[in-house]
Chain A
Amino acid sequence: MGEEKKTLLEVKDLRVSFFVDGSEIKSVGGVSYQVREQEIIAIVGESGCGKSVTQMSTLQLIPSPPGRILGGEILFEGKNLLSFKPESREMRRIRGKKISMIFQEPMTSLNPVFTIGNQISEVIRLHKGVNRREAWEEGTKALEAVGIPDPAARMKNYPFEMSGGMRQRVLIAIAVACGSRLIIADEPTTALDVTTQAQVMELLVRLVREKGTSLIVVTHNLGLVARYADRIYVMYAGRVVESGCTKDLLKHPSHPYTKGLLGSVPRLDGDRNQELIPIRGVPPKLDGLTDRCAFLPRCPYPCEACKNRPYPGLRPAGENHMTACYVDIQGGDYDE
């Protein structure tokens, strides 16, 4: 990996809340991250930690109401995407053309009443301004590129005539068909069979490497992350709690939550008698967050600063490695 690639996407202090029944659910509470060109990054966290909402915000796809982007900047190719209205022409020219998104549910993410060909060529026609016939041909090629056998015949199929893995390939084909510079894959393999998961992930990574596209993978699967990601952002309760290069972060987790995550994953090469250590407690409710560290109630390393001082914010924990914790769980306090 070459150092100092140009930054493609930079998210600064993004805050997103959902307003339901008079209470505010702080789904994303000041998240910052960046993606460089040709980089694969992973955003890791439990369900409900705000990782999907963060990604949906990039394309302004948050259902509103009840969701609202309260602040922050999303800089892509030098423009702040949040300065565009969600249904504006500018925003629509980003979606599917510059930044594509792949979702978790391949079974329901394609419209059941239109053919695959109709849905893929529709997007190609829209973004490339080609005619119906050309779009159909390009669509067929796109299906071929994602390894769908007999693509010409498959173009005429309806989604229900395909398996989940095939449908996810179709969605990947749509995502890469218009030459996006960034692909956001939100739990792209979670809904698939284990054997299919690997195939789909290999395909996605191969395509982005071939095309020099950047990729954000949102996942809770640390095995997936370890294998493909260049860098990792760990999210907890709507905030990034740790970030760093994959190897470094997995080897030397500096936040108690990351350490807990790694401790609760079984290892095939580990000692079979070694007990898994689940993180105790449950994730906090996002409508009652205080300014304290949200992980404190579950943390095995609580210190005085954690109880008395606000959430620490990200601070260096090594080279290109940041953590939001007062305690140095590797040894000694960082605390001033």
Chain B
Amino acid sequence: MNNYGTYIVKKAGDAIFSIFLISVAVFLLVHLMPGDPVRAMLGYEADEAAVQAARETLHLNDPLIKQYFIWAGNFLKGDFGQSLVLKTDIFQTIATRIPVSLSITLPAFVISTVIGIVVGTISATHRGSFADQSLTVFVTAFGGVPDFWIGIMLMFIFSVKLGILPAMGYVSPWEDMGGYLKHAALPVLVLTITSFAWIGRQMRTCMLDVLNQDYIRTARANGLPASLVHYKHGMRNTLIPVVTLLVLQVRSLVGGSLLIKQVFSIAGMGRLIYTSVASNDYLTIQALTMIIAVFVIACNLLLDLSYGFMDPRIRARGKRS
């Protein structure tokens, strides 16, 4: 097997091992809680017979190892059980929440990435220019302001003063595209504002670092026009650091943003995490933690694999140097 093959197998092994460790920790969550988890979920006034019945369905009377395998097996089948608090199927609940979250976070992620990369690149190639200084001012100004404040201010301007956008609520894009666009505009805008400047800043730093490299000097000395120097020789070498930074942010895609959901009253994943923690709904917390963990680890694995496409040295040797 060549080195890239070994590299892939190693990274996949790491990912599987990480998921296993997390699953053990998440499984033990229920058992580490003080007191009886079933009582905590059902309420302390619950009928003793109901508590015993719940213990049976959750296999809580079985040995710990057996419990783990039953739980993990069910998880692999996509069966997260019934929430004792919400009295609903947990899989169904999450399946309705993820699209809501994604319909807000994904557009924000894409827009802020595109704007961030463009602005960061321009600001690096035109260092000290008006665009560069504007970015710095913007990052400093918005870096210290909490997102809910920006949300409330935008809501105040666009909904209360101008009255052109609804202040809160959510419409699914599959039901009513126009309604969705109206309702999603403000939350997407807030998420974009808070993250594009950060992405732009990172892009600027990476690009400046690359532009100081010797091969950029060679490219310029060979008479290549600035466009080729920056966008071919420069940008290609910023891919790895920038894509890595972007993947660090993917957790927010399915994890949602609690503050935005609270401010704009959108029932996505952020809201679900909040309510299940607040109501001691351990089974839902377990399912959410596992889903987010698997998603993040899968994205990181894809990132590791993509390094091979972005850098021939990793493709050939499994490392950068």
Can you list 7 residue pairs at the A/B interface with Cβ under 8 Å?
A: A61-B221, A92-B223, A95-B221, A112-B313, A113-B236, A123-B222, A161-B316
- A112 lies within 8 A of B316 (CB): no
For B237, list chain A residues within 8 Å (CB).
111-113
Instruction: Contacts A158-B312, A160-B312, A160-B313 given; indicate if A111 touches B215 (C-beta within 8 A).
Output: yes
Q: Is A11 an interface residue (CB 8 A)?
A: no
Mark each residue of chain B from 210 to 229: 1 if its CB lies under 8 Å from any CB of chain A, else 0.
Answer: 00111101111111111010
Write out, one digit per residue, whether chain A residues 52-77 have a CB within 8 A of any chain B CB (1) or not (0).
00000001010101000000000000
Contacts of A94 in B (CB 8 A): 223
- Kindly report which residue of chain B lies nearest to residue A112, judged by CB atoms: B313
Assess whether B313 is in contact with A126, with CB atoms less than 8 Å apart: no
Residue in B214, B223, B224, B228 whose beta carbon sits within 8 Å of that of A103 in the complex: B214
A126 to B223, CA, bound (A): 8
Q: Does A241 contact B (CB under 8 A)?
A: no
How far, in Å, is A226 (CB) from chain B's closest CB? Answer: 28
Question: Which one of A63, A111, A158, A161 contacts B219 once the chains associate, using CB atoms below 8 Å?
Answer: A111
- Interface presence of B43 (CB below 8 A): no
Q: Which of B127, B215, B223, B317 is the one whose CB lies under 8 Å from A96? A: B223
Instruction: Report if A112-B311 is in contact (Cβ < 8 Å); known contacts: A93-B223, A123-B222, A123-B224.
Output: yes
B215 touches A112 (CB 8 A): yes
Chain A proximity of B2: nearest CB distance (Å): 14
A-contact 0/1 string along B124-142, CB 8 Å cutoff: 0001100000000000000
Complex CA–CA separation, A20 to B218 (angstroms): 24
- By beta carbon, the residue of chain A nearest B315 is A158
Q: Does A171 contact B (CB under 8 A)?
A: yes
Q: How far is the CB of A41 from chain B (nearest CB, A)?
A: 19
Tell whether A301 is near chain B: CB-to-CB under 8 Å.
no
Q: How far is the CA of A87 from the CA of B221 in the complex (A)?
A: 11
* Extra inter-chain contacts (9) besides given A61-B221, A95-B223, CB under 8 Å: A61-B220, A100-B222, A101-B221, A108-B213, A111-B233, A112-B215, A122-B222, A126-B224, A158-B316
Contacts of A10 in B (CB 8 A): none
A66 CA / B223 CA spacing, docked (Å): 22
Q: Which 3 A-B pairs have the closest CB atoms?
A: A95-B223, A96-B223, A96-B222
> What DSSP secondary structure best describes chain B's contact surface?
helix
Q: Is the CB of A114 within 8 A of B236?
A: yes
On whether the beta carbons of B222 and A113 are closer than 8 Å, the reply is: no
The docked-state distance in angstroms from the alpha carbon of A109 to that of B213 is 8
Say if the beta carbon of B30 comes within 8 Å of chain A.
Answer: no
- State the B residues within 8 Å of A (CB): 127-128, 212-215, 217-226, 228, 233, 236-237, 310-313, 316-317
Residues of A bordering B, CB below 8 Å: 59, 61, 63, 65, 87, 92-97, 100-101, 103, 105, 108-114, 122-123, 126-127, 158, 160-161, 171, 174
User: B213–A100 contact, CB under 8 A?
Assistant: no
| B219 and chain A: residue at smallest CB distance | A111
Taking the closest CB of chain A, its distance from the CB of B310, in whole angstroms, is 7
A251, B224: Cα distance in complex, Å: 43
In the bound complex, what is the Cα–Cα distance between A161 and B310 (angstroms)? 16
- Contact assessment for A127 and B223 in the assembled complex, using a CB-CB cutoff below 8 Å: yes
Please give, as numbers and ranges, the residues of chain B lying within 8 Å of A100 by CB-CB distance.
221-222
Q: Which of B221, B225, B236 is packed against the most chain A CB atoms within 10 Å?
A: B221
- Determine whether the beta carbon of B218 is less than 8 Å from that of A158: no
Q: How far is the CB of B225 from chain A (nearest CB, A)?
A: 6
In the assembled complex, the Cα of A94 lies from the Cα of B222 at a distance in Å of 9
A174 and B215 CA atoms in complex are apart in Å by 13
In the complex, A109→B221 CA distance in Å? 11
Report the nearest A residue to B211, measured CB to CB.
A63
Residues of B close to A160: CB separation below 8 A: 312-313, 316-317
- Given the known interface contacts A65-B128, A160-B313, the answer about A95 and B215 at a Cβ–Cβ threshold of 8 Å is no
A87, closest chain B residue (CB): B226
Question: Which residue, B214, B233, B313, B316, has most C-beta atoms of chain A within 10 A?
Answer: B214
Whether A123 and B214, one on each chain, are in contact in the complex, defined by CB atoms closer than 8 angstroms, is no
Shortest CB-to-CB span from A95 to chain B, Å, is: 4
Given contacts A87-B226, A93-B223, A126-B224, contact A109 B218 (CB under 8 A): yes
The answer to whether A174 and B214 touch across the interface, beta carbons within 8 angstroms, is: no
- The reply to whether A113 and B221 contact each other, CB–CB distance below 8 Å, is no
A92 partner residues in chain B, CB cutoff 8 A: 223-225
Q: Least Cβ distance of B224 to chain A in Å?
A: 7
Inter-chain contacts of A113 with B (CB < 8 A): 236-237, 310-312
Contacts of A103 in B (CB 8 A): 214, 217-218, 221
Q: Contact at A123–B313, with CB atoms within 8 Å?
A: no
How close is B138's CB to chain A, nearest CB, in angstroms? 22
